[in-house]
Amino acid sequence: MADPVVTLKHFFEEARSGRLTGIRCRRCGDLAMPPKEFCPACQERDWAPVALAGAGNITSFTVIRVAPRGRAAEVPYAVAVVRLDEGVSLLGRIVDISLESLRIGLPVRFRPLVTSEQAAIGFGPA
């Protein structure tokens, strides 16, 4: 089995350093992120890595008011689907933007949310 160009593990390692990496299908040109094994558009597995700038706009968001177990101190917070300028969408947590000022179309910028062992996707002010 050939190694994937960008694995999910690699994706999060890069994200931790503040870099977003997508993958583009060499066959049909579809851009995917986070990395997938097979192209959803053409079912091929022929990816090339693509560096993403991390700038985009909110296309939908949800305010979390009831926390998952162990995160009670963090609510309320928002998670949003952000459509990046490159054309892919990514789910991330909103940071440093007040819940009142969230709206569809708001420009945001990727920033890594790094805890002791994990990196997660966050979006802050553009």
- Interface with Zn ion (CB under 5 A): 25, 27-28, 30, 39, 41-42, 44
Read out DSSP for 5-63? SS-HHHHHHHHHTT-EEEEEETTT--EESS--SS-TTT----EEEEEE--EEEEEEEEE
Nearer to Zn ion, 30 or 54 (CB): 30
Q: Which is nearer to Zn ion, 7 or 62 (CB)?
A: 7
What's the closest the beta carbon of residue 69 comes to Zn ion, in angstroms? 38
Q: In the complex, what is the shortest distance from the CB of residue 39 to Zn ion, in angstroms, rounded to a whole number?
A: 3
Alpha-carbon distance 106 to 41, whole Å?
Answer: 28
Quote the least distance from Cβ 83 to Zn ion, whole Å.
19
